[in-house]
Structure 1
Amino acid sequence: MYDALVIGGGPAGLQAALTLGRMHRTAVLVDSGRYRNGTVEHAHNFMTHDGRAPGEIRKLAREDIAEYDTVELRDATVHSVREEGDGFVAETDDGPIEARTLVLATGLTDVLPDVPGLREAWGREVAACPFCHGHELAGRRIGLVGEGPHVPMMVAMLAPIASEVLTFGNDEVVAVEPTSDGLLLRLRAGEPVEVGGLFTHPAFEQSAPFAAQLGLEMLPSGCVRVDVLGQTSHPRVFAAGDLAHVADLPMPMASVLLAAAAGLVAGSSVVRSLAAEAVASVG
């Protein structure tokens, strides 16, 4: 039985595994190969990695983890997780895995509007985060699709970057087409509009069913509730990355750097909880 099973091979899971390895805890990380930023060509706003491809960041992290012989990396899919005895059993492509603790780092899946061309441009010309994708559109016209109180704030944040910020209601853009240097937005009414890039905030959902299978407490956002140490409502289950956040936030603050930081916190909390059990057993 491993000390910890980490599910998810993005920045949160990789950092959790690295932290566990540095403390000589036995851990296995299972990576399905599916990532929320799988269509993103370059990660940004991450010191020393600004502009690096997310896949390259994952590769470098795996090389770091390979130096620690108590951590195993598996490219497989976890299908289900259940509590059993003093730990958990995960059913995977490679057979069952048993672990004393669990770190969920499976992320979220963006649910995009059914607008032709939007999915093909998602993560490149179309994005959600101006901190991650705004600077590359400097001096160009930027489109913003959305409604609600967040729109004026987004416009104000993008204003120093863009030559012009155009806003559209959720139903105004009916198709998105690539151009040589941006996008052509076809509108329900009026002439098409060319922009360098487009921002929108799609809905999201959990990428994996494990929180539901384990009966973890959820937040109104649809994310797993964690405390500041990454612990869920189950004392042996920790969560890191986009799938979870503290109750004081309305939604997760999605970024590669923050996901990695949350992975460090969750990995450290696993070590602390195992150490606490050891102390209690001899007390």
Structure 2
Amino acid sequence: MDETLHDAIVIGGGPAGLQAALTLGRTHRDVVVLDSGAYRNDPADAMHNVLGFDGTPPAEFRAAAHRTLAAYDTVELRRTTAHEVAAFDSADTGTSGDGFVVRTDDGDVRARRLLLATGLRDELPDTPGVADLFGTVAAHCPYCHGHEFSGTPVGILGSGTHVARVAGLMERIASRLVVLADGGTLDPDVRAALEGRDVAVRHEKVLKVEPTLLDGGHRGALAVLDDGEPELLGGLMVMPSLHQSAPFAEQLGLELRESGCVAVDAMGRTSRPGVLAAGDLAHTADFPMPMASVTAAMSAGQIAAAAIDGDLLGV
């Protein structure tokens, strides 16, 4: 077991966790990053809307971050999976202040502060073929992947309230928009929002989507509909259900918002003293939803790291 009581443990090796580690390293804090090697953007072949890294594979971004962190002697990146988090009191260690122990594949790690940056898990619609296309032809965020569908017909899968917003965001990008209601009924407010827009609606059940090629050899998808003509698409926008990717918020009894994300203040502090959260698993009250982007995660990681440093200073 690691007997050192570190300043901070960061669980998660994505943009939020890596940026937090850099910020703490630059103040010479002793920080351990626990990286399981599994990331929310694993299905994506490239990340977008990230200044300086637009179109870069996520693995290349992480490799660049690892090279940056290697220059800081007080930052340690451990490629191991965390399984359980618990608090311990000062009587256990003879140190001032409570701390946290993280149980990993490689033994226990202890620290005075804990940052959760484990992200969310996407539960995709169960339409056959969607999971195979997710991250390339199928995507959920117009800001992250919409531009890549420029000039092609784009489908919007589902009949929920997200349909109107996605249609508004994509209408300047797509050559044609079609809502694939998948056997569902559009809410009257959604229908009203679509009126006046050049958006077709197909109500048939979507039997499957399968990869195909568009003119010019560009990747696309063919949506096969029940009792109807198939739709040839250059992109398919989907709305996953979001879940915490790790059990640590539940283990620590952290307050959650209706979104299912950890409730944090503007500095990333959770409902439990000494525990902070950053990235798309966290949700501040001022935002209508968790900000699920690389740049937002990096910003949140930097801010949470500054909060950790301030807490340890006692100011």
Structure 1 length-normalised TM = 0.96
* Structure 2: tracts of 5 or more residues without a match: 90-97, 184-204, 214-218
Output the CA distance in 2 between the equivalents of 1:189 and 1:10.
44
- Matches of 1:51 and 1:268 in 2, distance apart? 29
Q: Please, which moves more after superposition, 250-259 or 167-176?
A: 167-176
Q: How does 1:92-241 map to 2 (within 5 A)?
A: 92-171=104-183, 172-180=205-213, 181-241=219-279
How many pairs does the alignment contain?
277
TM-superposed deviation, 1:150: 2.9
Is 1:78 aligned to 2:82, yes or no?
yes
Task: Verify the 8 A CA contact 1:242 1:253 in the aligned structure 2.
Answer: yes
Tell me which amino acid in the other structure corresponds to 2:261: C
After superposition, the Cα gap between the structure-2 partners of 1:170 and 1:107, relative to the gap in structure 1 and judged at 3 Å, is farther
Structure 1 CA distance for aligned equivalents of residues 107 and 182 of structure 2: 45
Conservation of the 8 A alpha-carbon contact between 2:21 and 2:305: yes
1:48 to 47, 52, 58: 52
Separation in structure 1 between the aligned mates of residue 226 and residue 36 of structure 2, nearest angstrom: 39
Letter in 2 for 1:174: L
Equivalent AA in structure 1 for residue 285 of structure 2: A
| Contact 1:184 1:194 (C-alpha < 8 Å) held by counterparts | yes
Aligned-residue CA RMSD in angstroms? 1.1
**Structure 2 Cα separation of the partners of residues 170 and 62 of structure 1:** 43
> How big is the shift at 1:250?
3.2
- State, as a whole percentage, how many aligned pairs show the same letter: 53
Name the counterpart of 2:67. Answer: 63
**TM score, norm. by length of structure 2:** 0.86
Q: How does 1:11-26 map to 2 (within 5 A)?
A: 11-26=15-30
> For residues 95-124 of structure 1, what are the alpha-carbon distances to aligned partners after superposition, in whole Å with 9 as ceiling and x for unaligned?
000000000000000011222111111111
Counterpart of 1:108, as a letter, is L
Q: SS at 1:57's partner residue?
A: helix
Deviation at 1:249, TM superposition (A): 2.5
Greater displacement, 30-39 / 173-182: 173-182
Superposition pairs for residues 234-273 of structure 1, below 5 Å?
234-273=272-311
Write the letter of the residue equivalent to 1:234. R
Tell me if the contact between 2:125 and 2:238 (Cα under 8 Å) persists in the aligned partners: no
Give the Å deviation of 1:157.
Answer: 1.2
Radius of gyration: which is bigger? 2
2:164 & 2:227 partners in 1: Cα distance? 23
Give the SS at the match of 2:62. Answer: helix
Secondary structure of residue in 2 paired with 1:154: helix
SS of the residue aligned with 2:286? coil
Which digits, 9 at most, give the CA deviation of each residue in 1:168-208, with x for residues without a partner? 11443221100023000011331211100100111010000
User: How far, CA to CA, are the matches of 1:127 and 1:28 in structure 2?
Assistant: 33
Q: Where does residue 40 of structure 2 map in the other structure?
A: 36
Q: Which moved more, 1:21-30 or 1:181-190?
A: 181-190
For residues 150 and 44 of structure 1, the distance between their equivalents in structure 2, rounded to whole angstroms, comes to 21
Structure 1 unaligned runs (5+)? none
Q: Deviations over 1:137-177 (max 9, x none)?
A: 11110000122333222112111111101111144322110
CA contact (8 A) 1:221 1:250 kept: no
